Amino acid sequence: SVPATFKEQLQVVTKPRLLLVYLMTILGYGGTFTAFTYLAPILEQQTGFASSTIGIIMLVYGVSVAVGNIWGGKLADKRGPI
């Protein structure tokens, strides 16, 4: 098969439904990373976690999110997105 041209690829990217998905993704991840900015001070000052523990907490959270995304994706493939 012939590879799609740049113009054809650009037409796919500019579809309104896909633009909405891109916007949701940008806002979702942007919000998550904004929360991370404040998470370390909150964990340290409000909950009393030691500075050395915060990195481990964030690592566990990150691994949990990755595993959840993989598991959720497989579940969505099997049962549908709803």
Indicate whether 27 and 57 sit together in one domain.
no
- Stretch 33-62: mean pLDDT: 89
The structural domain count of the chain equals: 2
At residue 34, the pLDDT reads: 85
Regarding whether 42 and 4 lie in a shared domain, the answer is yes
The model's pTM is 0.57
- Clarify whether residues 43 and 66 are in a common domain: no
Distance CA 42, CA 48 (A): 9
- Please check whether residues 39 and 66 belong to one and the same domain: no
d(CA 79, CA 82): 8
For residues 20 and 59, what is the distance between their CA atoms, to the nearest angstrom? 30
pLDDT at residue number 35 = 82
Distance separating alpha carbons of residues 53 and 35, to the nearest angstrom = 18
Q: Given a cut of 90, is residue 82 above it in pLDDT?
A: no
Long-range contacts of 50-54 (CB under 8 A, 24+ apart): none
Banded model confidence at residue 30, pLDDT cuts 50, 70, 90: confident
**Statement to judge: residues 38 and 64 lie in one domain:** no
Average pLDDT over the chain reads: 89
Q: What are 55-79's pLDDT values in tens digits?
A: 899 899 889 999 999 999 899 899 8
